[in-house]
Structures are given as structure tokens and as C-alpha cells.
Amino acid sequence: MPELTVQPAKDSYLSAVAKDTNYGAGQFALVRVVYAGDLKLAWERAIGNFDVSVLAGATIESAKLVRHVWSLPGGGGHDAIISRCTRPADWVENQVTWNKYRTGANWTAAGGDFDDAVPGAITYSEPTSTGDHEVPGLKPHVEDALANRSGIVSLLIRLADEDPDVDQGAGWRTKEYGADVWRLTIDYTLPPDAGRRSLSGSRHHRAPAVRPGSPVRPAAGTRPATAQRPSVRRPR
């Protein structure tokens, strides 16, 4: 069965302790709460858009979110929720914050607008060790995106309990990291009448090759350019 891997077209995280700070050029996404006494040192939600429009007309068999988890404050094992962000086209990667989806435009609800009903939110357990972690069950999100959202799967991820009283969280690699980028992996079939149609003829671009030894962090004070086009690995 053909499989399509789609890296995020844009990704970032939102911080409730720095509500007007943008993290769009960062190399990691975070969903966590870390305490120091009553103060939350960190409280973050992750956001990302995945363009699956190349699959228009295909039958989606399954879809999963794959993240390379590099850090688990509190040890992992806690629950988190994947919801559909309701402003997929509006939020701007190098402007989005906890308060605003772009400069001058507030989210309806601080922390990002999302819908847990259509498609239904996915609750999953974070792993207890680092490495690739898969969250299955995103087929409805892909189908919904193709049917109703111009092919954009926009995800907002948060802790199931954002007042857990103990540190909880996970961090994973974004597209800016350049390797082990989080991604949607979709199994699909094409309709019998698709003829010679091939996804390789799509407008999408192959994922950039990873350069060994590429810097893990951007140079101090710089804001790396962020690509706006999705990186799509063609079906195997």
C-alpha cells in the first residue's frame, strides 16, 4: 500500500508564561508544564500544519503522527490531546504566540483556537523513553482536511491536564531542526480510475536531504528563515 510522509509546512509552540513571544524559528516543539512552587516555569502547547492536499481523491486507509521525542520532563507516561486547530490558514509561523495567531489578531481563546468535536480529539499517552513515537488514529483528521480544510491538517497539542501538580511534558523536533522532523505518515489507495496519476507529479517538494553535522541550534541572535512549503516524501 502506498504511504505518504508529510512534514509540517509550519510549526511552533505557544507559551503561557511568555504569552507574546514567538517560537516559530525554534528547533523543538514542546507540550509541557514545569513548576517551581506555585509558579509555572513552563506551560506550552504545540501547533503544526501538514499539507495533505496531494491526496485529494485518494482513499485514506490510516494515518499516524510520528514525533522524535527528545525530552520527557517528569518522565513521560502522561496523557496529551491532539485537537484540530480551527485557524489553519490564519496563524503565521513567525508571529504566532499564546495570545495571537498573527500580529494584531488575537485567538478567540488564548492558547490557540481548537475544536475537539470534528474530527474527534485524540488522547494519547506520551512515551517513557526518548526516540520515535507514533500516535495512530489520525485518519479522520486527514479525511476532514481533504474534505473541508483545503487539505490542511492543522494540529494543536496540549497536556490532558494542564494543572497536573507535577512536571509533565514532551519535546520533539520541528522542521527547523533538519532531521527527525515530526510528520504525518498516511497509508492510502488511489481509485481504480486514477490511470497514470501519480503523486510524484504533485506540486510538493521532496524533503530536503539532512546534512550530517548540521548545527543543532541556530546562531545566537539569529532568526533562521522558515520554509513555507510542505516537505513531502513521495510514496514508496
Partner 1 sequence: MSVRRPTAADRSALIERLGGARAVDQASHRAHVSEEGAEQGVALWIEPGPGGEPYLGTVKAAPENRKLFYQLIEACARDAFERGYARASFTVRDHRLLSRIQRDFQVEPQAIGWDAGSGEPVEWDVLVDLEDALGQLRRVIDA
Interface residues toward partner 1, by CB under 8 A: 15, 18, 20-26, 34-39, 41, 69-76, 94-97, 100, 103, 128-130, 165-167, 171, 217-223
**Shortest distance (Å) from residue 226 CB to partner 1:** 11
Q: Is 227 helix (H, G, I), strand (E, B) or coil?
A: coil
**Shortest distance (Å) from residue 58 CB to partner 1:** 36
Nearer to partner 1, 166 or 179 (CB): 166
Q: Are strands 59-71 and 131-136 parallel, antiparallel or unpaired?
A: antiparallel
**Shortest distance (Å) from residue 224 CB to partner 1:** 10
Nearer to partner 1, 131 or 208 (CB): 131
The answer to whether residues 177 and 28 touch, using CB atoms and an 8 Å cutoff, is yes
Nearer to partner 1, 165 or 193 (CB): 165
Q: Which residues pair with 170 in a beta bridge?
A: 31
Nearer to partner 1, 112 or 119 (CB): 112
**Shortest distance (Å) from residue 142 CB to partner 1:** 29
Torsion of CA 227, 230, 233, 235, to 10 degrees: -170
**Shortest distance (Å) from residue 152 CB to partner 1:** 22
Nearer to partner 1, 2 or 74 (CB): 74
Nearer to partner 1, 197 or 217 (CB): 217
**Shortest distance (Å) from residue 137 CB to partner 1:** 24
How distant, in Å, are the alpha carbons of 8, 52, 126, 155 from that of 81? Answer: 18, 21, 10, 10
The answer to whether residues 94 and 10 touch, using CB atoms and an 8 Å cutoff, is no
Closest CA to 76 of 8, 172, 7: 172
DSSP secondary structure, 212-223, as one string: TT--SSPPTT--
CB-based contacts of 28: which residues, under 8 Å, 6+ apart? 13, 70, 71, 171, 172, 173, 174, 177
Nearer to partner 1, 36 or 117 (CB): 36
**Shortest distance (Å) from residue 217 CB to partner 1:** 5
Side-chain-facing half-sphere of 82: CA atoms under 13 Å:
24
